[in-house]
Amino acid sequence: MALLWLTTVAAVGILTAVPKIWLDACHLSLWNIHSPSGGVSFSVIAYGGAAVVMAAAARVWQRVLIAGLVSLWLASLVAGIIVNHVHTPQEAVAGLLFGALGVRGFARFYRAETRPSMRWFVPCAVVLVWLAIYPPAHHSLEPLLTRIGRWSAAHAPICGVGDTPVRPIDWALKQY
């Protein structure tokens, strides 16, 4: 199951990073999205993934409670990001969708019988809550993604010719 989790997190990372790189490299805005929220997408996969593991062997009412609490927690995180103007609502929703796709994929293949021992639940929950409430510093991959985007714009035809932007699907279809 660890491989499933790592694959899910990597997929969410790619789903979030590729549009960030492309939009930044080409200086584009798509539906007022300049940079999909990586913080939201990874919050959704972290808390949503924890909810999947906790709910796997739970009773129906416990599953509903877990889903409701995690949904409220994530809604408050998204609202805070929007209210504090960290991201536009569209960017936050894009991150939410990317993370939700990851949670859906993880939930689809997760098996309750392989669930880890619950002795790790309390320490993991404490660490997740502590990281959410008290981040000592904001660590971001944004500078790296910006450099990748600028390098890509200079060395690959991802932005089109001149002032005409190219859509990724158009570029991909030209390759065949």
**What pLDDT band is residue 161 in, cutting at 50, 70 and 90?**
low
pTM (2 d.p.): 0.73
Residue-wise pLDDT for 101-147, tens only, equals 999 999 998 876 666 666 777 787 787 777 667 665 556 777 788 78
49 or 153, higher pLDDT = 49
Domain boundaries, the chain: 2-174
- 95, exposed or middle or buried, with CB in 10 Å at 0-12, 13-18, 19+? buried
pLDDT cut 90: percent of the chain above it:
35
Q: Which two tokens stand for residue 158?
A: 């991802």
